[in-house]
Amino acid sequence: MKAQIINQFGDPSVFQLTEVAVPVLIPGHVLIKVHATSVNPVDCKIRSGANLGSTEPELPAILHGDVAGVIHAVAADVTQFKVGDEVYGCAGGVRHTGGALAEYMLADSKLLAKKPSTLSFLQAAALPLVTITAWEALFTRSNLANGETVLIHGGAGGVGHIAVQLAKWRGAKVVATVRKKDDIALVKSFGADEVINITEEKPADYVKRLTQGRGFDLVFDTIGGANLEISFTVAAINGTIATTVTRGMHDLSLMHAKGQTLHAVFMLLPLLTNHGREAHGKILAQAAEIVAQKQLHPLIDPHQFTLAETSQAHALMESGNAHGKVVIAIS
Amino acid sequence: MKAQIINQFGDPSVFQLTEVAVPVLIPGHVLIKVHATSVNPVDCKIRSGANLGSTEPELPAILHGDVAGVIHAVAADVTQFKVGDEVYGCAGGVRHTGGALAEYMLADSKLLAKKPSTLSFLQAAALPLVTITAWEALFTRSNLANGETVLIHGGAGGVGHIAVQLAKWRGAKVVATVRKKDDIALVKSFGADEVINITEEKPADYVKRLTQGRGFDLVFDTIGGANLEISFTVAAINGTIATTVTRGMHDLSLMHAKGQTLHAVFMLLPLLTNHGREAHGKILAQAAEIVAQKQLHPLIDPHQFTLAETSQAHALMESGNAHGKVVIAIS
């Protein structure tokens, strides 16, 4: 089969389109005929060789977790899928598991769900990693409830635009931040009740305007870096901050003075540790229902790529100029 | 009335035994004839002028939160206490509220509970701050449940020795760390199932020995500093760390890689903000029942002090040589 492999870590030019063997089916797994994948920031980090703990794959490696495709073969012990089923999931591209940048992908069936029927393969492939991440941050970890208010930092981003929709679906009041004027209307179209342009309004000002100075009960930080300290500032006393970007040194003094809770969300853990994988399949099955209710859909960058153009897809992702998820059609 | 006041922040010599006016009763409050108080690390920090956010009192100030005494007068709107009741609580010694280093103390009735009848005033005064802190960390924030395993760092310390007893009362399996050989038997006497001498066993080794390498579901860190990173190391994937000592810079990379939750516990918040004070009175009422069941008692340093000896009590606390809570008899 054709696959984009990397023989070394580095910039987007390290991808090499190569002929490799189709993966061999093993118990609990299915073989997916891959139709589409999408680029997530973590894929670029893994490609570049960044040390993310234990994500680093053995070389040569096939990258990318997000996949949408058709079941080509199932192991004898897999009962929930059959050949021909359209599925989606985030199922590889890290240590010990091949990725979706190939014509066929071996995937643990527990990580998959039936593809939302109203979405194309390209659209479906844009969802898994960001949807599971947002779900874990808002629901699994923070128990966001109907009627609560959540602030989502980075509302126009990959995880952010899904988080806005999921929080709205849950019945929360949703406030989101953006850094471009053009993104205000976009993020409102995803259901945000209030959108803050952080280049025009300071944290103290929007906390005062939107919470009477009290702060938000839940803040979801998809930006990271110095924004984590801003999240402590804008969260209430005893408030909760969920973040996907906690790595590195942070000053926790304000978090302490406000008695807050911090959830570090790292959705690759079930893939890396083989614990808790069932939860991912279940989240994607629920997400498919929300898609069917027309309350969840991905924003896709208009420039779509083929497998042969993987390097360009990564370059667009890293340029910061993508407008929505960057997707790659495989077949 | 006699009171120890400070006119400036500094070392233990700043206390001055002075005659001051008895506080004036205000709605919602009681006037306590103070019998005893205890020294907590935060009292020493406040005395030294350390900036803890918004704890700093106006000068001259009367310090100390922990109090045990007898109700001397009650405001007309206070119904749960009457003159003559023996009470205990952590009710002042910070910004806007006078402290317990005086013959009388004005206290919000919501912060108080009836003193455990089997304890002396000196013993009862040792409990409030450390008991509320341990309760909030283990139960309010971390939902420690019967049958779970908790690791308590600093099991012989003020908060630690109470946390060991409360976790055991809850039905948890309790593992605690100490740094002195002599404290092993002491902490076992408080109910710890396993006590680790951290000068003799490394984190990786006791995680392997006690959890088969999996890590602890809940770690309560009462030590802080570099021990927070050790807490991330010994807590499980998706595990929880509660800490009373989060201030300053910390590397959160490992917390992120393990998808953990961090609760910063700062028990003075209801006192400082006037929100959630009822919870403190309720915790102390429950603690009094646990004392009555003989499942909770404070360790008291054998060297006890009088109000006139407050400077010496603070010096002992800061020496690191106290063996249990340092208590002061007021009258």
Residue-level pLDDT at A110: 98
Chain B's closest residue to A141, CA to CA, is B261
Which residues of chain A have a CB within 8 Å of the CB of B261?
141, 261-264
Contact A263 B266 (CB under 8 A): no
* CATH code reported for the domain at A2-127+275-329: 3.90.180.10
Q: What is the pTM of this model?
A: 0.95
Contact B257 A141 (CB under 8 A): no
Q: Give residue A287's pLDDT band: very low, low, confident or very high (50, 70, 90).
A: very high
Q: Output the tens digit of pLDDT for each of chain B's 331 residues.
A: 999 999 999 999 999 999 999 999 999 999 999 999 999 999 999 999 987 667 889 999 999 999 999 999 999 999 999 999 999 999 999 988 999 999 999 999 999 999 999 999 999 999 999 999 999 999 999 999 999 999 999 999 999 999 999 999 999 999 999 999 999 999 999 999 999 999 999 999 999 999 999 999 999 999 999 999 999 999 999 999 999 988 889 999 999 999 999 999 999 999 999 899 999 999 999 999 999 999 999 999 999 999 999 999 999 999 999 999 999 999 8
Q: Give residue A52's pLDDT band: very low, low, confident or very high (50, 70, 90).
A: low
Spatial CB neighbours of A50, under 8 Å, sequence gap ≥ 6 = none
Min Cα–Cα distance to chain A from B242, Å: 9
- Whether domain B2-127+274-329 has CATH 3.40.50.450: the reply is no
Show the beta-strand stretches assigned E in chain B.
Answer: 2-6, 15-19, 29-39, 66-74, 86-90, 104-108, 112-114, 149-153, 173-178, 194-197, 216-221, 235-243, 249-251, 261-264, 305-306, 326-329
Contact B258 A249 (CB under 8 A): no
- d(CA A280, CA A285) in angstroms, rounded, equals 9
Are the CB atoms for B228 and B246 separated by under 8 Å?
A: yes
Per CATH, the homologous superfamily of domain B130-264 is: NAD(P)-binding Rossmann-like Domain (3.40.50.720)
Contact B250 A248 (CB under 8 A): no
Where in chain B do CATH 3.40.50.720 domains reside?
Answer: 130-264
What spatial distance separates the first Cα and last Cα of chain A, rounded to whole Å?
A: 11
Mutation pick from A266, A272, A274, A277 vs chain B, by most beta carbons of B within 10 Å, is A266
Closest CA to B41 of B198, B273, B197, B245: B245
Q: Give residue A55's pLDDT band: very low, low, confident or very high (50, 70, 90).
A: confident
ipTM: 0.95
